[in-house]
Amino acid sequence: METINWKVEGMTCSNCALSVTKFLEKEGMKNVKVNPIDGDVHFEIVELDDLQQKNLTKGIESLGYFVVDERMQAQNNPEKRPMNRYLRYLLICLPFTLVLMLHMIPGLDIHWLMNPWIQLALCIPVYLTGMYFFGRSAWKSLGSGSPNMNVLITIGATAAFLYSLIGTLIGQGDQFLFYETAAAIITLVFLGNYLEDLSVNSTQRELNKLAKSQKIMANMIAFDDEHQEQVFLVENVHLKSGDLILIKNGEQVPADAKILWGEGSVNEAIITGESMPVEKKAKDKIIGGSLLTAGMVKAQVTASADQSVLANILNLVKKAQGDKPPVQHMADRISAIFVPIVLGIALLTFVLNYFILDAFTPALMRSIAVLVIACPCAMGLATPAAIAVGLGRAAKNGILFRNAKSLEAFKTITQVVFDKTGTLTTGAFKIGQYEAIGLDDNEFRIIAYSLEKYSNHPIASCISKTWKDKVDIKWAKIEEIKGKGMHGITKSGDEYWAGSYAIANSLTAADQHNVYILKNGALAGWIDVQDTTRAEAKSVIDYLHSKKISTILLSGDRKANCDLLARDLGIDTVIAEKTPEEKLAIVSELNAKAPTAMVGDGINDAPALAKATIGISLSDASQVAMQTADVVLMNHGLKNLPLALGLGKHTLITIKENLFWAFAYNIIAIPVAAFGFLTPAFGALIMGLSDVVLAINSLRLFVKKTT
Cα of 390 vs its chain's centroid, Å: 9
Q: Check: CB of residue 684 under 8 Å from CB of residue 673.
A: no
Q: How far apart are the first and last CA of the chain?
A: 39
Amino acid letter for position 634: M
Q: Which sequence positions are flagged as catalytic? A: 419
> What are the Cα distances from residue 514, in Å, to 435, 498, 558?
12, 10, 8
- Number of residues that make up the chain: 707
User: Which burial class, exposed, middle or buried, applies to 444 when counting CB atoms under 10 A from its CB (0-12, 13-18, 19+)?
Assistant: buried
Nearest to 323 by CA among 246, 243, 386: 386
Considering only CA atoms, give the Rg of the chain.
32
Decide the pairing of beta strands 614-618 and 631-633. Answer: parallel
Q: Strands, DSSP E only, in 437-492?
A: 475-481, 485-490
Helix (H, G, I), strand (E, B) or coil at 14: helix
Nearest to 401 by CA among 385, 417, 390, 386: 390
> What are the Cα distances from residue 452, in Å, to 410, 457, 461, 621?
38, 9, 7, 18
Helix (H, G, I), strand (E, B) or coil at 431: strand
Decide the pairing of beta strands 40-45 and 30-34. Answer: antiparallel
Cα–Cα distance, 289 to 311 (Å, whole number): 10
Helix ranges (DSSP H) in 328-411: 329-357, 360-373, 376-396, 405-409
> What are the Cα distances from residue 148, in Å, to 5, 134, 481, 505, 669?
24, 10, 57, 69, 19
Amino acid letter for position 296: M
CA atoms within 13 A on the CB side of 139: 9
Neighbours of 440 (CB within 10 A): 9
User: Which burial class, exposed, middle or buried, applies to 70 when counting CB atoms under 10 A from its CB (0-12, 13-18, 19+)?
Assistant: exposed
User: Which burial class, exposed, middle or buried, applies to 107 when counting CB atoms under 10 A from its CB (0-12, 13-18, 19+)?
Assistant: exposed
The residues with which 6 forms a beta bridge, in sequence order, are 41
Q: Check: CB of residue 455 under 8 Å from CB of residue 486.
A: yes
Nearest to 429 by CA among 403, 401, 454, 462: 462
Q: Check: CB of residue 404 under 8 Å from CB of residue 320.
A: yes
Backbone angles phi, psi at 200, to 5 degrees: -70, -40
Q: What is the DSSP letter of 493?
A: -
What stretch of H or E contains 618?
Answer: strand 614-618
